[in-house]
Structure 1
Amino acid sequence: MENYEIDNLDKSILHALKENARTPYAELAKRFAVSAGTIHVRVEKMKQAGIIEGTQVSINAKRLGYDVCCFIGINLKHAGDYPGAIARLKEFEEVVEAYYTTGNYSIFIKVMARSIDHLQDVLINKVQTIESIQSTETLISLQNPIQRTVMP
């Protein structure tokens, strides 16, 4: 089912579920003038095609006390150090995203910390202790004015 082509009803369902993943199928059926069974079948087809990969709870990091968001560009000593560096970065709960990139950095990570002191601790006692890291550059985020997912 890799080549599943979505239509306007699928797009509408995706938009509605992205807004509130707990919306009952019966409510979606009324909204889109189809049966609840149709909604169920469409959602299952999109799951099988890998378009829908599950449901998630959106957590407000600031409400949990994580006030500092930053991005760290990492240069590795050798390209072959990538798997080991990623394995070590996965150990740190403050690292919430990681990307293997082209350009100035080998790896680009997103880190959430409770404070600047916490961030300093993460940098000195966690990230920079990884032997295969040659250097890092930290960019602190002041604001996140756009945060969305790709929609059809």
Structure 2
Amino acid sequence: MNNYLIDNLDKHILHALMANARTAYAELAKKFNVSAGTIHVRIEKMKQAGIITGTQLMIDTKQLGYDVCCFIGINLSNARDYPQTLIKLEALEEVVEAYYTTGNYSIFIKVMTKSIDHLQDVLINKIQAIEAIQSTETLISLQNPISRTVMP
């Protein structure tokens, strides 16, 4: 099923579910002039093909007190240290995304903290305390004016 090609109906279904993942199949069926069974089959096929991998709850991090978003470029002492370093970074709740990259950094992470003091603590006592990390560079985000996913 990995070679499943989506058509216009699939795209419409995906757009609708991305806007509201809780939309009922019957509502989608009515909107797209097909049966609820067709919607169900299409969604199941996209799940089996790995196009739909789950649903996600969106939260406002600022409402939870996380006021500082930053990105940290990490240089490793050795490329072979990547797997173990990733495991250690994944254990830190403040690290919300990680990327293995080309260019200036071995790993690029997104970190959310409640304050600059919290960021300083995480950076010094958690991230830079990982032995395999040679150096870091921190970029603090001032705002996130564009936040979206890839559209089908």
Q: For the superposition of Structure 1 and Structure 2, which TM-score range results when normalised by the shorter chain?
A: over 0.9
Amino acid at match of 1:23: T
Aligned length: 152
Measured in 1, the distance between the counterparts of 2:51 and 2:63 equals 30
| 2:122 aligned partner, one-letter code | V
Look up the SS of the partner of 1:46 in the other structure: helix
Alignment of 1:29-44 (within 5 A): 29-44=29-44
Does 2:135 correspond to 1:135? yes
CA distance in 2, matches of 1:10, 1:62: 34
How far, CA to CA, are the matches of 2:54 and 2:91 in structure 1? 24
Match in the other structure for 2:121? 121
TM-score, normalisation: structure 1 = 0.99
Instruction: Give 1:6's aligned residue.
Output: 6
Distance 2:6 2:151 in 1: 12
Query: Which residue number corresponds to residue 17 of structure 2?
Result: 17
Identity over aligned pairs, percent: 79
Q: Which residue of 2 aligns with 1:54?
A: 54
Question: What corresponds to 2:106 in structure 1?
Answer: 106
Residue in structure 1 matched with residue 28 of structure 2 by the alignment:
28
Structure 2 regions of 5+ residues with no counterpart?
none
Deviating runs (4+, > 2 A) in structure 1? Answer: none
**Cα distance between partner residues in 1 of 2:140 and 2:40:** 43
Alignment-mate amino acid for residue 78 of structure 1: N
Q: CA deviation at 1:69?
A: 0.2
* Shift of residue 89, structure 1, vs aligned partner: 0.4
Determine if the alignment matches structure 1 residue 76 to structure 2 residue 112. no
SS at match of 2:128: helix
How far apart, CA to CA, are the structure 2 residues paired with 1:47 and 1:140? Answer: 36
Q: Supply the distance in 1 between the matched residues of 2:84 and 2:59 (Cα, whole angstroms).
A: 29
In structure 1, distance between residues paired with 2:55 and 2:87: 26
Q: Deviation at 1:91?
A: 1.1
What one-letter code is carried by the residue in structure 2 that aligns with 1:8?
Answer: N
Q: Which residue of 2 aligns with 1:146?
A: 146
TM normalised by structure 2 equals 0.99
Q: Aligned equivalents of 1:124 and 1:111: distance in 2?
A: 13
